[in-house]
Amino acid sequence: MNKLTKINRRKFLNRSALLALTPPLLSHYPNFFTRKKKLRHVCVGVGGMGWHDLNRFKSHPEVEIVAICDVDENHLARASEALPQAKTYTDWRTLFANEMGNFDSINVSVPDHNHFPISYRAIQAGKHVYCQKPMCHDVAEIRKLTEAAKKAGIVSQLGTQHASGKGDRTAVQWIKEGHIGKIKQVYLCSNRPGATEAYRFEGPRPANGENPPAHVHWEQFIGTAPMRPYAPKIYHPSKWRAWQDFGTGWSGDIGCHILDAVWKGMGLTAPLSVTARVQESWEQSPARRADTWPQSNHITWVFPGNDMTASDTLTVEWFDGEFYPPEAVRSLYSLEDYPAESAMLIGTEGALLIPHTKMPVLLPESKFQAVANPDLEERDHYHHFADACLGKVKTESDFAVSGPMSETVILGTVAIRMPNTLLTWDARRMKISQPAEANRYLSRTYRKGWKV
């Protein structure tokens, strides 16, 4: 056998071995194929946060947005200018009927009450799903969506975009490394200035509504919720979070962001119990309690302990509105400059402050000067999802992890609706053991014609 034959034979064997690789592994060799197929993506909800989401996906070089959908034709027109080749729809059901064979992945960036039917239908069809937090409106929806994603084997990502940032990822690593010893208690808060006035209405809803503007498809906006007349400035756009039919309140909106690094770093599982305090004016108003969310909440979960906790249980508290973490906790950093949105872990050897969107701080700082920030690459949450769909990586906020965390956050909203009542949670059976009447808040009855 001459030298040339040996070389050709070696090339043949190497090429055959590469061809034997599974498709996910082949995606690690971007130059292997002369033309690589793009990820065909669909955006449902393109106003507000949906506009941000669209632009992040649009910026990925291997993503092609093939269709867009929004109940507001003004939002749709702006998005269509940015994506003139994308097909446009005002009803996601029509989009699915017409385009199901033409896309691979979807992002769901609509009000909370419609997250489940869109995401679930997509998963059933084998599509990869990026869903905005808090994943779903109800605990039962989250459980069903989490299980469906696992069964279908699709790529999933919760819209906790800061979970991919260096700040949260550093916090997760520091927690796991045990710098502050065993964890004794955790304090979460979201006291963002102006949020109460801008997003948390006292109610009540107007006695009489009016015809929606021609560019808003009100039937599609209402979706799974009970029908109500349109009223300007209090539902659409962005104000829907204040209403129980559409949103999950302030803790439901922001809770997944603030809890995420703690959940992952500590390896938390479902809580044993949850209770909530709310401001007195909401608690004493039957009309408000039936329709809106409170302006202020203090939620307390008790979790089973693990090898990272100082005892056999761990208490995690949430504060928003007029409720703040105790002064003794805030003073560990600064009473004047305590981050309005943050998590604080108290350990046996120190404390860890995780300001939302910023780098974490080990306390007291003088004790931990030798601890260096880990060397982490920059990461875009949206691009990371697209790369996972293309077989390159695993997502940061897969439903397998973010689903149980979302359940915990939304279980807190159940406690809000029954203030000052200890709810005992049986996660395996997805049931509130005591009091039994609280179970009615775990799920909803969808409006006729919208059941999945």
Give the tens place of pLDDT for each residue, 305-341. Answer: 999 999 999 999 999 999 999 999 999 999 999 999 9
In a domain, 201, yes or no: yes
Give the tens place of pLDDT for each residue, 204-228. Answer: 898 899 999 999 999 999 999 999 9
Q: Print the domain residue range for 343.
A: 164-205+238-375+401-441
Give me the number of domains the chain comprises.
1
Q: What are phi and psi of 298, to 5 degrees?
A: -130, 105
Query: Which are the contacts of 105, defined by CB distance < 8 A and separation ≥ 6?
Result: 39, 40, 41, 42, 127, 128, 129, 130, 155, 385, 386, 389
3-class state of residue 313 by DSSP: strand
Sign, Cα dihedral of 71, 73, 74, 76: positive
Global pTM value: 0.91
In a domain, 354, yes or no: yes
Query: Which are the contacts of 237, defined by CB distance < 8 A and separation ≥ 6?
Result: 47, 48, 72, 75
Say if CB 328 and CB 351 are below 8 A apart. no
Predicted local confidence at residue 16, as pLDDT: 42
Predicted local confidence at residue 203, as pLDDT: 82
Residue 313 belongs to a domain with what CATH number?
3.30.360.10
CB atoms under 10 Å from CB of 452, counted, come to 13
Q: Starting from the edge strand earliest in sequence, which strands make up the sheet with 87-89, in order?
A: 87-89, 63-69, 39-44, 105-108, 128-131, 156-158
Nearest by Cα to 385 from 373, 372, 394? 394
For residues 298 and 279, give the distance between their C-alpha atoms in angstroms, rounded to a whole number: 9
In a domain, 363, yes or no: yes
The DSSP 8-state label assigned to residue 107 in this structure reads E
In a domain, 2, yes or no: no
In a domain, 141, yes or no: no
CA count, 13 A, side-chain hemisphere, 187: 22
For residues 261 and 268, give the distance between their C-alpha atoms in angstroms, rounded to a whole number: 10
In a domain, 183, yes or no: yes
In a domain, 19, yes or no: no
In which residue ranges of the chain is pLDDT below 70? 1-36
Q: Starting from the edge strand earliest in sequence, which strands make up the sheet with 297-304, in order?
A: 361-363, 351-355, 341-347, 183-190, 313-320, 297-304, 273-278, 423-426, 431-434
Predicted local confidence at residue 19, as pLDDT: 40
In a domain, 434, yes or no: yes
Predicted local confidence at residue 178, as pLDDT: 98
